């Protein structure tokens, strides 16, 4: 993943064709795996708040369009304290391209390696 720009609650990202997750997913038509979009969202949220985060729970994820190699996508999100644990964050957001939704998701994350991390 290459972050092209990041602001408070919006990041523009490109998924380079030479990234290892494209190998075998799918030959001849490389598609970004959904798990990579989830991981990218966690990493971007961590960068935006200035500390690395670790995924604790994926509440939901819905993928409606594919992201192919070298395509730009936009991640927009909101962050709030997780109701079940104030030391964790609940992040809700969507991936889009040219205003069209690619995916939406909600997850809980905590400081990587912190007392609420593994």
Q: What is the pLDDT of residues 9-45, one digit of tens each?
A: 999 999 999 998 888 777 788 899 999 999 999 999 9
Q: Has residue 82 been placed in a domain?
A: yes
The answer as to whether 49 is a domain residue is yes
Residue 118 inside a domain? The answer is: no
Compute the radius of gyration of the chain from its Cα atoms: 14
Asked if residue 73 has pLDDT above 80, the reply is yes
Tell me which residue range forms the domain holding 8.
Answer: 2-111
Task: Note whether residue 96 is domain-resident.
Answer: yes
Residue of 18, 13, 29 whose CA lies nearest to 71: 13
Does residue 88 belong to any structural domain of this protein? yes
22: domain CATH number is 3.10.129.10
Number of domains in the chain: 1
Task: Please check whether residue 77 is in contact with residue 42, taking contact to mean a CB–CB distance below 8 angstroms.
Answer: no
As beta bridge partners, residue 97 has 100
Residue 116 lies in a domain: no
Prediction pTM value = 0.91
């Amino acid at each position: 993943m290459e972050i092209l720009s990041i602001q408070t609650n919006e990041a523009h990202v490109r998924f380079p064709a030479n990234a290892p997750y494209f190998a075998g997913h799918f030959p001849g038509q490389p598609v970004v795996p959904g798990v990579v979009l989830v991981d990218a969202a966690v990493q971007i949220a961590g960068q935006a708040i200035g500390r690395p985060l670790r995924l604790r729970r994926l509440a939901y994820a819905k993928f409606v369009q594919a992201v192919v190699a070298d395509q730009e996508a936009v991640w927009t999100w909101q962050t709030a304290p997780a109701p079940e644990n104030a030391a964790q964050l609940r992040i809700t957001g969507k991936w889009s391209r040219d205003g069209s939704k690619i995916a939406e998701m909600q997850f809980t994350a905590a400081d990587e390696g912190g007392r609420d991390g593994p």
